[in-house]
Structure 1
Amino acid sequence: MDLRSNFEAGTSRWATRRAQWRALGLSDEDMTKPKIAVVNSSSDLAICYSHLDEISRRVKAEIRAAGGLGFEIRTTAPSDFIHSAGGRGGYILSSRDLIVNDIEAAVEGALLDGMICLASCDKTAPAQLMAAGRLDVPTIIVACGYQPAGTFRGAHCDIEDVFLAAGHLAQGRIGLGDLTEMSEAAVLGPGVCAGMGTANSMHIVCEALGMALPGSTPVLANSPAMWATVAAASRRIVEMVRTGLKPRRILTRDAFANAVMTVLAISGSINCVKHLQAVAAEAECDVDVYRLFEEYADSVPLLTAVRPNGPHPIEAFEAAGGAAGVLKQLEGRLNTSALTVTGRTVGENLAAVEVSDEEIIRPSGDPLARRPAVVVVRGSLAPATGIVKLAVDEERELTFTGTAIVYDSVDDAMAGLRAGEVREGHVLVLRGQGPKGSPGMGMASRPVFALDGAGLTGKVAVVTDGQLSGLVNKGIVVGEVSPEAADGGPLALVENGDRIAIDVAAKTVNLEVPGDALARRRSGLAEVADPRGWLSIYRGTVTPLQKGAVLRGG
């Protein structure tokens, strides 16, 4: 085969690599085979990744059986619940781009022929898609599954229940013993959070984009279904290298439109918006994902309500048909001619798909709701973008006008809540949490959950340039406001007592302060202190959210 990884015999590159690989036990015949990177974000720090080493081992064996040669490569392995502790939470989003560069260094440095990427926690799937778009070598994403959840006093209990309960403890509504018992019961095995959070949402997005095998998401970790996909994907990636099927033929505007419609139909994580924009940027696909969400928001119906958006566990959603089932119900709206990693189109992949339970995955003509759960908003406080995630069963008036109470860190906001500073009618403004401000984008969910614990959901709104848990849908929360405060956005100019008006139906968020007053405030803005190390590099190169918050030089 004419592979970029095969060097001319007798050259120094051929000779030195042969010496290295012969010492690894490889034969001269092995060295002519398609060389596949097995991208493994394994780590002992988080349960999300604890099963990936065995998956990687089996993938390499399957690739060899299919006539290829698998090389395991490692990347950083971020977990939101573990790695948000330091750097004001900035190591979470920024680690997505570290993964992309880890992959580039290994795959491009060695000129490998393709990639099979083991997707687990929130940032791995988007990073792997971004790397596929950047490098444009044959790639398949394999979702490595969600964790089995437990029960607490007879009720379902998963990691997000623990996160929410911690907010209730902060406000004295539950005891430490209850929270401790919940934390021991919530996670019963490896895999990602067992709900429609960022990880499962992005796994589904991989399939909707055509970058994962059809019918492979979501999936219980270490289940027979997951192992069957592992084997099938390992065989398929070797064939993709042989036929030259590359990601940029798949990652087209039609594919991104399909993914956006799918996120809306499942009430997926708001983090999908920036991740999809980042993938488009790396694939050099000229598409505005934020505008696609606006375009489809009022026409794509909500077809499922998976916890915590609704009553159904992720296991029931998988059994009913999962991503393939949602795509089948959306078939009349999708771009069915879009190409996928199978070498077939979306329409061809869906031909034999059936939804086994239409109460779990509803038909388009009989949806759960026609109001979007993911809403892009704009206005004088968010001139570029902001995002609101709504509960599936949200029925109340989606407007809020109140006076600002401003905090510049999560810890300050939590202290203010404990001190009783935040009261009914306030708009809690949490700023300095964006890609440049943290830097790396801080997690703004703790105050949102604490408001719920204090009984202030619906009585206090939140506006922040930080990111939110993929599952947050408590009251009116405008997240990921751009331009962010650290980039000179209007959020930096808000003062205590300013009036802020939010109208989700009208898709607006406005700061009701005269322009001349804002101009005076802008002249007094202070410079943001620069960190050291990786976060300093990130701050200096990250683009705004509406461009995907990807890294660019200069």
Structure 2
Amino acid sequence: MELRSNFERGSSRWATRRAQWRALGLSDEDMEKPKIAVVNSSSDLAICYSHLDQVARWAKEAIRAAGGVGFEVRTTAPSDFIHSAGGRGGYILASRDLMVNDIEAAVEGALLDGMLCLASCDKTAPAHLMAAGRLDIPTVVVPCGYQPCGTFRGEHCDIEDVFLAAGHVAQGRLGIDELTEMSEQAVRGPGVCAGMGTANSMHIVCEALGMALPGTTPVAANSPKMWQAVEDAGYRVVEMVREGLKPRDVLTPAAFANAVMVVLAISGSINCVKHLQAVAAEAESDVDVCRLFERYADEVPPLSAVRPNGPHSIEQFEAAGGAAAVLKQLEPLLHRETVTITGRTLGETLAGVAVAEPDVIRPLGDPMGRQPTVVVVRGSLAPATGIVKLAVAEKRRLSFEGTAVVYESPEDALAGLRNGEVREGHVLVLRGQGPKGSPGMGMASRPVFALDGAGLTGKVAVVTDGQLSGLVNKGIVVGEVSPEAADGGPLALVENGDRIAIDVAARTVDLVVPEEVLAERRAGSVRAQDGTRGWLALYRSAVRPLQEGAVLRAR
């Protein structure tokens, strides 16, 4: 078999590689085999990655048994709850793209033949898909599972409950002792957040796109099913090298349409929108993901309601059949001709799938709700896009008009709330949090949760160019407004007292200010520099707008 990792015997490249790899214990026979990168984001900083070293060893054994050689490749390992502390929260999204480039440098630099990517926390799965699309070498993404959760005073308690409860403490509606007790119970082992947040949503997206093995998402971390998936993936990636099956054979426009339908059906994280667009950009697939969400919004109802979107747990969702069952229920709408990493079409894969619990993953004719849960909005305040996340069977008010109170950071917004500046009828505007402004995209959820703690959910709306929690949003919240303020978007022109009108049903968000007034403000605006240095400064200089996936491109 001709492999790109092999070089002519006697050449300097062959000789120096042989010297290096023989010293690592490889035989001359090994050096002729498919060489697979086992991409591992292990880290002691976050529980979501704490099991991956063992997973990597298991994967390498499977690759060897299949006739290949596995090389473990380490990357950065961002965790929202850990790495959002510094850089105004900007290291989170920026780490996604750092990971992509990290993978490229290791895998493309060494000219390895394939990748087996161990996905865990929020940014790893999209980064692995982006790297696969960019490098276009045989790749299998292996979602490595969700964490077990605990209980607090007889009720389910997970990490997002702790995050939300902290907003109540800030407003004096919950005691620090209760929050402390919750934080001790919320996480009981390794893996990603247990609700239908960004991590589980993106793990499911990997399967919907055809880049993870069928029937492997979601999965409990360290369960027998997860270990079997790792072993199967090790065998399959070696086969893919021999077959020449590559990511761009899988990541077609039709595959992205299927993934969008699945996100709508599971009421997935709003962060899937930018991540899917980023994957499409790296795979050079001509797809406008926001337009796909708009196209399918009224066609694909929510078929499941996993916490916090509804009553079911991720364990119940997995037992009902997981991603495969959702795809089965969506089968009449899907592009069944798309090819998956198995080499078979999606239609062939779904032929033997059954839905174990149709009350948990409903058929199209009997959905959990009728309105879309990921809603793209546009208007004079968001000329490109904004995104609203709704719960399944949403009952809250879907329109709001009020006066703006403007803040430049989450800390300022929290202080304003404590000082009584934010009152019923206001629209809290939090700007400067986008990919350029933060830079790296700051987390805007803390003020949203604090509003809930203050009893102002539904009485105050929020508009921000920042990133929101993939799990929980309260009230009417328009996130990821684009163009962002730092890129000259209208959000930069909003002043205290301006009228803002939001109509989620009509999918609009507008700044009700005469154009001549905005023109005067635009002429007098000056963009401040904040002295950011290092990686975030490089990120700011290269990042593209959200509607392009916030990917990095040299100017």
TM range (shorter): over 0.9
Q: Counterparts of 1:186-335 in structure 2 under 5 Å? A: 186-335=186-335
Contact 1:437 1:528 in 2 (8 A): no
2:486 counterpart of 1:477:
no
2:547 counterpart of 1:546:
yes
Q: Counterparts of 1:346-361 in structure 2 under 5 Å? A: 346-361=346-361
2:377 counterpart of 1:386:
no
Q: Distance in 2 between matches of 1:41 and 1:393?
A: 37
Superposition deviation, residue 526 in structure 1: 2.1
Instruction: Deviation per CA, 1:135-158: give whole Å up to 9, x if none.
Output: 000000000000000000000000
Q: Distance in 2 between matches of 1:525 and 1:184?
A: 47
Superposition deviation, residue 322 in structure 1: 0.4
Give the AA of the match of 1:536: A
2:166 counterpart of 1:166:
yes
Q: What residue in structure 1 maps to residue 178 of structure 2?
A: 178
Contact 1:399 1:503 in 2 (8 A): yes
Instruction: Deviation per CA, 1:300-356: give whole Å up to 9, x if none.
Output: 011000000001010000000000000000000000110000000111111111111
Q: Distance in 2 between matches of 1:197 and 1:524?
A: 41
SS at match of 2:92: helix
Superposition deviation, residue 369 in structure 1: 1.2
Q: Distance in 2 between matches of 1:505 and 1:349?
A: 36
Instruction: Deviation per CA, 1:142-190: give whole Å up to 9, x if none.
Output: 0000000000000000000000000000000110000000000000000
Superposition deviation, residue 272 in structure 1: 0.0
SS at match of 1:263: helix
Superposition deviation, residue 372 in structure 1: 0.1
Q: What residue in structure 2 maps to residue 536 of structure 1?
A: 537
Identity %: 80
Q: Counterparts of 1:105-116 in structure 2 under 5 Å? A: 105-116=105-116
Give unpaired runs (5+ residues) of structure 2.
Answer: none
Q: What residue in structure 2 maps to residue 94 of structure 1?
A: 94
Contact 2:445 2:473 in 1 (8 A): no
Superposition deviation, residue 29 in structure 1: 0.3
Q: Distance in 1 between matches of 2:472 and 2:14?
A: 53
Q: Distance in 2 between matches of 1:181 and 1:393?
A: 31
Instruction: Deviation per CA, 1:42-101: give whole Å up to 9, x if none.
Output: 000000000000000010011001100000000000000000000000000000000000
Superposition deviation, residue 522 in structure 1: 1.2
Superposition deviation, residue 118 in structure 1: 0.2
Q: Distance in 1 between matches of 2:61 and 2:241?
A: 17
Q: Distance in 2 between matches of 1:135 and 1:21?
A: 23
Q: What residue in structure 2 maps to residue 454 of structure 1?
A: 454
Q: Distance in 2 between matches of 1:540 and 1:496?
A: 30
Instruction: Deviation per CA, 1:203-246: give whole Å up to 9, x if none.
Output: 00000000000000000000001001011010000000000000
Q: Distance in 1 between matches of 2:377 and 2:539?
A: 26
Q: Distance in 1 between matches of 2:232 and 2:396?
A: 47
Q: Distance in 2 between matches of 1:401 and 1:527?
A: 28
Contact 1:404 1:494 in 2 (8 A): yes
Instruction: Deviation per CA, 1:353-405: give whole Å up to 9, x if none.
Output: 11111110001111111200000000000000000001113124310000000
Q: Counterparts of 1:502-513 in structure 2 under 5 Å? A: 502-513=502-513
Give the AA of the match of 1:235: Y
Q: Distance in 2 between matches of 1:221 and 1:93?
A: 24
Q: Distance in 1 between matches of 2:39 and 2:322?
A: 25
Superposition deviation, residue 527 in structure 1: 2.1
Q: What residue in structure 2 maps to residue 125 of structure 1?
A: 125
Contact 1:486 1:528 in 2 (8 A): no
Q: Distance in 1 between matches of 2:24 and 2:356?
A: 48
Q: Distance in 1 between matches of 2:157 and 2:417?
A: 26
Give the AA of the match of 2:458: G
Give the AA of the match of 2:4: R
Contact 1:213 1:233 in 2 (8 A): yes
Instruction: Deviation per CA, 1:284-306: give whole Å up to 9, x if none.
Output: 00010000000000110110000
Give the AA of the match of 2:427: V
Q: Distance in 2 between matches of 1:137 and 1:75?
A: 18
Q: Distance in 1 between matches of 2:451 and 2:349?
A: 45
Contact 1:299 1:370 in 2 (8 A): no
Q: Counterparts of 1:30-49 in structure 2 under 5 Å? A: 30-49=30-49
Normalised by the size of structure 2, how large is the TM-score? 0.99
Contact 1:48 1:121 in 2 (8 A): yes
Superposition deviation, residue 18 in structure 1: 0.4
Q: Distance in 2 between matches of 1:497 and 1:467?
A: 24
Q: Distance in 2 between matches of 1:473 and 1:98?
A: 28
Q: Distance in 1 between matches of 2:59 and 2:83?
A: 28
Q: Distance in 2 between matches of 1:76 and 1:29?
A: 32
Q: Distance in 1 between matches of 2:473 and 2:551?
A: 26
Give the AA of the match of 2:59: V
Give the AA of the match of 1:75: T
Q: Distance in 2 between matches of 1:277 and 1:528?
A: 29
Structure 1 residue ranges, 4+ long, deviating more than 3 angstroms after superposition: none
Aligned residues between the structures: 554
Superposition deviation, residue 523 in structure 1: 1.9
Q: Distance in 2 between matches of 1:189 and 1:347?
A: 36
Superposition deviation, residue 473 in structure 1: 2.7
Q: Distance in 1 between matches of 2:254 and 2:518?
A: 41
SS at match of 1:388: strand
Q: Distance in 1 between matches of 2:353 and 2:526?
A: 57
SS at match of 1:281: helix
2:50 counterpart of 1:50:
yes
SS at match of 2:491: helix
Q: Distance in 1 between matches of 2:451 and 2:397?
A: 19
Q: Distance in 2 between matches of 1:55 and 1:281?
A: 30
Q: Counterparts of 1:392-541 in structure 2 under 5 Å? A: 392-529=392-529, 530-541=531-542
Instruction: Deviation per CA, 1:523-546: give whole Å up to 9, x if none.
Output: 222223141000000000000000
SS at match of 2:524: coil
Contact 2:448 2:473 in 1 (8 A): no
Contact 1:391 1:474 in 2 (8 A): no
SS at match of 1:332: helix
Contact 1:133 1:247 in 2 (8 A): yes
Instruction: Deviation per CA, 1:2-31: give whole Å up to 9, x if none.
Output: 000000001000001100001111100000
Q: What residue in structure 1 maps to residue 149 of structure 2?
A: 149
SS at match of 1:522: helix
Instruction: Deviation per CA, 1:390-421: give whole Å up to 9, x if none.
Output: 11131243100000000000100010111111
